[in-house]
A and B are shown apart, each in its own frame.
Chain A
Amino acid sequence: MDKTPRTLPRKSATFDDYTLSEIRRAASTGIYDIRGAGAKRRLPHFDDLLFLGASISRYPLEGYREKCGTNVVLGTRFAKKPIELKIPITIAGMSFGSLSAQAKEALGRGATIAGTSTTTGDGGMTPEERGQSKTLVYQYLPSRYGMNPDDLRKADAIEIVIGQGAKPGGGGMLLGQKISDRVAAMRCLPKGIDQRSACRHPDWTGPDDLEIKIHELREITNWEKPIYVKIGGARPYYDVALAVKSGADVVVLDGMQGGTAATQEVFIEHVGQPTLACIRPAVRALQELGMHRKVQLIVSGGIRNGADVAKALALGVDAVSIGTAALVALGDNDPHYEAEYNELGSTAGAYDDWHEGRDPAGITTQDPELAKRLDPVKAGRRLSNYLKVMTLEAQTIARANGKSHVHNLEPEDLCALTVEAAAMAQVPLAGTDWIPGRGGY
């Protein structure tokens, strides 16, 4: 045997194991990979920011004694009946169809206990969801599946969906295996066929038309409901400005970590901007128009804990929204189902084939046997617990920075750990007073 020393086998950083597996999968099937969830690649994110805390120059508040408010009012610009939430964390739009009825009910229950809102999705409003949600936002999507004026009037707010972070510029697809009789009936389509959700609205194009569309919805609902406009993280400065110009009460901005029920992997990972990169341009647009805090800004995409909430608020956001994290709180990707995830070729924590409808946790499915696994009452309680923990965490950080309300957090409370995050968040690199792009360098 040759004893000459040899270098270790070395795998390519470019052609890593995941890339190789995808090439083999594509070569075998001839179709692109479709999956759920948001971008999984490493991105500049809230973890790249730190709060400074208080010392001599800032005066902290006592953690267990002094009040730190968390309420937020949404829709103060035009709506006769703005929404007041106890916490600045809402539940993002997720459809009945992509989620089971039990999961939608659990989201409503959890949000209601925690004092916040939940949101419908493509496919319309279910009685379970309306019944269990004190505050329900009704999405107005390009497909208009399930859209009707009765549900519109039952809603507490209307969210016109123009895009989402996982796929700005893309529509949706609910594959035939998830089209049960009930889902099919709500969408006026035959059972078992793929249901495409268009990428553009059918009866308006551009911001001038959007203004007229918003006016129509206000007229139908007698100017009572706050009207949100949801956009993906594409060109946040211009898109937020145009949403304001069009008459939105609230802008919802979803970065590329925001989840989807089913989209091409290549779309999720390669289109759109990270949440962190979207916030400051959006806030700047509002400030320049004199509408910051008048048109509320909700940001979503990768919010996981109270620190993320506090950092988003410090950058000028009014509230955040969670989707993926809410599903995990319900029981999604729980290691309890590891053996079944393995059978599906995945593992707990990585399962994202939500479009296939075989979710062992009973959340992203229409299979009645799987859906039964999710107890909406218990799952709702888990979600409310999680929301309370996030709120407490955000309050803890706010008090440590001397703030009596989480909305008093400000960019000056932050520093960045990386040059990229400093540039995106427009806060100083830690240990310096350098904000990339400012001062001519």
Chain B
Amino acid sequence: MNELDLHKVGVRGINSQLHSLPKNTNEKHWVIQNPRGQHSIAVGLDAPLQIDIRGHVGFYCGGMNKDAELTIHGHAGVGTAENMMSGVVWVKGNSSESAGATGNGGLLVIEGDASSRCGISMKGIDIVVGGSVGHMSAFMAQRGNLIVCGDAGDALGDSIYEARLYVKGKVASLGADCIEKEMRAEHLADLERLLKAAKRKEKPSDFRRYGSARKLYNFSVDHADAY
């Protein structure tokens, strides 16, 4: 295990060290101490590292992550794991707005609550939220899975494309072109796999599925009132 103290080396020192590691490095496990809510910690990682961040982080922690497995032992700010490509980002606490925004792949687990716009424009990432998500979550979500073990705020899945949304609790309201859909065996299997990966105890059969009605995919003046 290697240790980096943000108080001593700053965000630049941490990212510079982690970026300098070759993909086949033997120094895989890193602990970041004293993150102090700073922004852009462990962004742009491109190697199969295991990173433990001991405290709260600010904006964009794990942004554009590839291959690395990050655990944030605290709360996270805006845009956690934004545009993630692969790997895992695991938040032990809560996460602020736009968690997993535009993520292309990998797994984002938020054990607590996520704020508004969780999974906005997601492009293939899987997101599991142990608590609830705020309004406009999965806005224009293109691909991937958003699993919410608690409740969802207003306008869930507004203008959604092909992403799949699963909510165990209440949904305050659905956004434009987002509807409840049939839960088939393939969806239950997906849910089981992702809940297991996120170490959740919920049963897949307790969730309801939401997705696109696909009525707004091609602009028609007859749908102008929907926007």
Contacts and interface: CB of A to CB of B under 8 A. Distances in A.
A30 B124 contact: no
Question: How extensive is the interface on chain A, given as a class?
Answer: 20 to 34
Contact of B101 (A30, A202, A212, A221): A202
Nearest to B124: A188
Contacts of A203: 60, 78-79, 82, 97-98, 101-102, 117, 120
Interface residues of B, number: 42
B220 to A, nearest CB: 8
B46 to A, nearest CB: 7
Given A144-B121, A173-B219, A188 B64 contact: no
Interface string A139-169: 0000110011100100000000000000000
A181 interface: no
Contact of A148 (B11, B85, B142, B217): B85
B66 interface: yes
B71 interface: no
Interface of A: 29-31, 143-144, 147-149, 152, 173, 175-176, 187-190, 192-194, 196, 198, 202-204, 209, 212-213, 215-216, 219-223
B131 interface: no
Given A202-B120, A216-B43, A219-B15, 7 more contacts: A143-B121, A144-B102, A152-B44, A176-B217, A202-B139, A203-B78, A203-B120
A254 B162 CA distance: 34
A203 B100 CA distance: 9
A215 B140 contact: no
Contacts of A196: 140, 159
B221 A31 contact: yes
A282 B82 CA distance: 32
Interface in B1-50: 11-12, 15-16, 19, 39-40, 43-44, 46
A149 B78 contact: no
Contact of B121 (A202, A220, A223): A202
Contacts of A152: 44, 64
A224 to B, nearest CB: 11
Interface of B: 11-12, 15-16, 19, 39-40, 43-44, 46, 58-60, 63-64, 66, 78-79, 82-83, 85, 97-98, 101-102, 104, 117, 120-121, 123-124, 139-140, 142-143, 159, 161-162, 217-219, 221
B59 A209 contact: yes
B120 A219 contact: no
Contacts of A175: 218-219
Given A30-B221, A147-B83, A212-B59, A188 B123 contact: yes
Given A30-B221, A189-B162, A194-B219, A147 B63 contact: no
B217 A219 contact: no
Given A30-B221, A189-B161, A212 B64 contact: no
Nearest to B59: A212
Contact of B39 (A31, A192, A212, A222): A212
A27 B122 CA distance: 38
28 contacts: A29-B221, A31-B221, A148-B85, A149-B66, A152-B44, A175-B218, A175-B219, A176-B218, A188-B104, A190-B217, A193-B217, A196-B159, A202-B82, A202-B101, A202-B102, A202-B117, A203-B82, A203-B97, A203-B120, A212-B39, A212-B40, A212-B59, A212-B60, A215-B40, A216-B39, A220-B63, A222-B19, A223-B12
A149 to B, nearest CB: 4
B221 A212 contact: no
7 smallest CB-CB distances across A and B, nearest first, come from A220-B44, A203-B79, A193-B217, A144-B102, A203-B98, A149-B64, A188-B123
Contacts of B15: 219-220, 222
Given A194-B217, A204-B78, A220-B63, A149 B124 contact: no
A59 to B, nearest CB: 49
A354 to B, nearest CB: 16
A189 B161 CA distance: 8
Nearest to B42: A219
Nearest to B98: A203
A161 to B, nearest CB: 14
A148 B60 contact: no
A148 B104 contact: yes
Contacts of A213: 59-60
B44 A149 contact: yes
A219 B12 contact: yes
Q: Which residue of A29, A202, A222 has the most chain B CB atoms within 10 A of its CB atom?
A: A202
Given A144-B83, A212-B60, A194 B142 contact: no
A209 B97 CA distance: 12
Contacts of A31: 219, 221
Contacts of B19: 222
B126 to A, nearest CB: 14
A190 B162 contact: yes
A215 B78 CA distance: 14
B30 to A, nearest CB: 16
